[in-house]
Amino acid sequence: MKVIVPVKRVPDTAGEKVIDKETLTVDRDAGESVLCPVNEFAIEEAVRLKENLGAEVTVLLVGPESAQSVVRKALSYGLDAGLQVTDDAIAGSDALGTARVIAKALEGVEWDLVVFGNQSTDARTCLVPAAVAELLGVPSLTYARHLHVEDDKITVHREHEEGFDVVESSLPAVVSVVEAINEPRYPSFKGIMAAKSKPLDVKSLADLGVEPEQVGANGAVATMYAFEPRPPKEAGTVVEDDGSGAAATRLADWLVEKKFV
């Protein structure tokens, strides 16, 4: 069984996000970049498939050459090999452009299951996994909080507001997992050292047969026209209870003013 785990390099979740005023995209050099934390849940699920079913797991990343450290970080969890798509023309791609590149990369390798995190912490569109499945013409199983693979069939518990649905599909398929699916492990020292020498295949858009005009900012169907910095936090409102009951009235008036009730 062959499993692919697409991952993404994102700005540090705890850091301040900076938008480039010229390109209106995230300035990824303004601070530290890391492996998207949501990807760790997909990686953990893939490692479990490797341990339980003997799956061969490859990590896939679309990003600049400097993102290779993120591929190595993913490999340190125990994955087998890496595939990185690097091309200057990819910069500024929207969700559909990113999906096009990932789908083309998947067309060039053998796989039975693709395991995504359900979103990335920098964009949070939740669109890429389903878009990749649509482009490849394979089943899409999203928001999985549990997955089980047996023979050529995958069963997932698909999370929603009222609980979950049990969904089955034949392989090959694309699945995206939510954070509730598992508790990711930490890479071992042995895994960190081994990741440095694991095979990593690097491809360009030309290698995949993708035209530069199909991706990047010029090929994006989603456009950002303007942005504003996050407003500074304002001091809160304190309502003190003096025992007269007036505090309750003031609190109720405040809730009405803020349209909470």
Question: Is residue 95 pLDDT above 80, yes or no?
Answer: yes
pLDDT value at residue 111: 98
Domain assignment present for residue 255? The answer is: no
Lowest mean pLDDT among 101-105, 211-215, 236-240: 236-240
Q: How far apart are CA 151 and CA 154, in angstroms?
A: 8
Report residue 168's pLDDT band, with 50, 70 and 90 as the boundaries: very high
Domain assignment present for residue 137? The answer is: yes
Question: Is residue 225 pLDDT above 90, yes or no?
Answer: no
Q: What are phi and psi of 254, to 5 degrees?
A: -65, -45
pLDDT value at residue 7: 98
Lowest mean pLDDT among 116-130, 142-156, 229-243: 229-243
Question: Is residue 210 pLDDT above 80, yes or no?
Answer: yes
Domain assignment present for residue 239? The answer is: no
Q: How far apart are CA 38 and CA 26, in angstroms?
A: 18
pLDDT value at residue 236: 83
pLDDT value at residue 258: 86
What one-character DSSP code corresponds to residue 19? B
Cα 38 to Cα 5, 116, 199, distances in angstroms: 12, 9, 24
- Domain enclosing residue 44, as ranges: 2-219
Chain-centroid distance, C-alpha 137: 21
Q: Could you tell me the CATH number of the domain that includes residue 9?
A: 3.40.50.620
Question: Is residue 17 pLDDT above 80, yes or no?
Answer: no
Q: How far apart are CA 110 and CA 117, in angstroms?
A: 20
Number of domains the chain is built from: 1
Q: What is the tens place of the pLDDT at every residue in 103-136?
A: 999 999 999 999 999 999 988 899 999 999 999 9
Q: Measure the CA dihedral 23/17/233/225, to 10°.
A: 20
Domain assignment present for residue 100? The answer is: yes
Lowest mean pLDDT among 106-110, 143-147, 167-171, 253-257: 253-257
> pTM of the prediction?
0.86
Question: Is residue 30 pLDDT above 80, yes or no?
Answer: no
b/e burial code for range 86-100 (CB count within 10 A of at least 16 → b): bbebbebbbbbbbbb
Q: What percent of the chain has pLDDT over 70?
A: 100
Q: How far apart are CA 247 and CA 140, in angstroms?
A: 53
Q: List, as own/partner pairs, every contact residues 230-235 make where C-beta atoms lie below 8 angstroms and the sequence separation is at least 24, other chains included.
A: none
b/e burial code for range 220-234 (CB count within 10 A of at least 16 → b): beeeeeeeeeeeeee
The answer to whether 147 and 38 are in contact (CB under 8 A) is no
Domain assignment present for residue 201? The answer is: yes
Question: Is residue 192 pLDDT above 90, yes or no?
Answer: yes
Question: Is residue 27 pLDDT above 90, yes or no?
Answer: no
Domain assignment present for residue 230? The answer is: no
Domain assignment present for residue 242? The answer is: no
Domain assignment present for residue 247? The answer is: no
